[in-house]
Amino acid sequence: MPVYKDEDIDTTEELVRIAKLCALAAKRAPKVADTEIKTSIIAGDDLKPVLELLEILGEGSAFIRGDAAVMRKLMESGRPPVVLLVGVDASESVGWNCGACGFATCGEFNKFCRENKSLGYFAMGPSCAWRIVDHGLALSYAAATCAMHNVENRVQTSVGASAFLLGFVENCTFAVAITIGPAGAKYYYDRTLTRDIYTEEEILDMLMRNFPTSFDDFAGSGWPRIKHIPTWMGDPKFSLITKVPEVEEKIKEVRQKATQYVIEYFSKKYQQE
C-alpha cells in the first residue's frame, strides 16, 4: 500500500480530475435557451502565458493585480492551481425578439452583429442576453460542483479574460474562469498572499477617492474639506472632478501592452507550428 502525503493530494492530475467534473456539470446544467457551453482546462506550463497577461492587465487595475499576485505566488511555490475556462458564443441570437440586446428584433441584432462583431476590453460583442444568462448559469453549476468537493476555488472574470484573449476556448465570444486549488484555504477569499502588494497609504487614498463623502466635513460651503489627517482643519484637502491624464494614459498603455502580448503570443505559437 502506498502512502499519500500532503504534497500528493493536490497534484495537477487530481485538480484536473475535479475540473473535469465541474466542466461536465457546466455542460449538463439546465439552460434557459439550450445554449452550447464550451470548456477548456488549463494546467501546468500552459498557465504561464495566462499569468503573464494577467499581470499586464493588473498594472491598470488594483483588483486584477491581486488576482495575478496570488497566482504568481502559487506557481512559484510549486503548487499551482488549475483553471477551468467556461466559454460561450453569445453572438448567435435565440430568435425570441425580446429586445434585451437593445434591438427590436433578432434580425436587427444579427445585422448589427455581422457589421460590428468585435473585441472590447475582455469580451467580444454584441451578445444575445439569453446566451449570457445560460453561460452564467452553467458557470454557477460548475462552481457548485467545485464547492461540493470542498476544494478552494474562485470564479474569476480576470483570469477568464486573460485565457480567453489567448484563445484557450475556441469559437467563443466570452469566457469566465474558475480557478481551482491547491489544497488549503484563503488563497482567493480573505487572501493571505496579497498582504504585501498594497500599501496602507494606497488603500487610504483609494478609500478617499471612492467614498469621498465618508471623509467630508460639514459640507455647507459647497466645497467640503476632506479629512485626511487628524489636523485636517489646518491642512485641508478638497475633492475635485478633473481629468487625470496620467491615469487615462496608464489605462491606454496597459491595453496596448496587453494587445502587444497577445499578438506576440500568437505569432510565437504559429511559428512553432
Q: Which is nearer to another protein, 68 or 138 (CB)?
A: 138
For another protein, the binding residue among 50, 138, 151, 226 (CB under 8 A) is 138
Q: Which is nearer to another protein, 77 or 171 (CB)?
A: 171
For another protein, the binding residue among 57, 141, 163, 177 (CB under 8 A) is 141
Residues 6+ apart with CB under 8 A from 49: 166, 265
We find the least distance from the C-beta atom of residue 139 to another protein, in angstroms, to be 6
For another protein, the binding residue among 134, 163, 169, 225 (CB under 8 A) is 134
CA 254 to centroid of chain Cα atoms = 16
Site for another protein in 245-264 (CB under 8 A): 255
Alpha-carbon distance 69 to 163, whole Å? Answer: 16
Per-residue string for binding with another protein, 11-30, x by CB under 8 A?
A: ------------------xx
Q: Which is nearer to another protein, 136 or 236 (CB)?
A: 136
Give yes or no for a contact between 130 and 100, defined as CB atoms under 8 angstroms apart. Answer: yes
Give first-to-last CA distance, the chain, whole Å: 44
Q: Which is nearer to another protein, 79 or 131 (CB)?
A: 131
- 3-state DSSP call for residue 38? strand
Report how many residues bind another protein under the rule CB under 8 A.
52
Does 176 engage in binding with another protein (CB under 8 A)? yes
Q: Which is nearer to another protein, 50 or 90 (CB)?
A: 90
For another protein, the binding residue among 21, 24, 75, 98 (CB under 8 A) is 98
Residue 218 per-residue DSSP state: -
- Greatest pairwise CA separation for the chain in angstroms: 78
Q: Which is nearer to another protein, 42 or 101 (CB)?
A: 101
Alpha-carbon distance 57 to 258, whole Å? Answer: 7
We find the least distance from the C-beta atom of residue 76 to another protein, in angstroms, to be 26
Alpha-carbon distance 21 to 15, whole Å? Answer: 10
Does 104 engage in binding with another protein (CB under 8 A)? yes
Per-residue string for binding with another protein, 114-133, x by CB under 8 A?
A: --xxxxxxxxxxxx-xx-xx
Alpha helices (runs of H) in the chain, residue ranges in sequence order: 6-9, 12-28, 47-58, 62-76, 106-116, 129-148, 157-165, 200-210, 212-215, 245-272
DSSP string, 39-60: EEEE-GGGHHHHHHHHHHHHTT
Give yes or no for a contact between 36 and 137, defined as CB atoms under 8 angstroms apart. Answer: no
Does 174 engage in binding with another protein (CB under 8 A)? yes
Does 143 engage in binding with another protein (CB under 8 A)? yes
Does 32 engage in binding with another protein (CB under 8 A)? yes
Does 137 engage in binding with another protein (CB under 8 A)? yes
Alpha-carbon distance 36 to 172, whole Å? Answer: 10
Q: Return residues touching another protein (CB under 8 A).
A: 29-33, 63, 90, 95-104, 116-127, 129-130, 132-141, 143-145, 148, 154-155, 157, 173-174, 176, 255
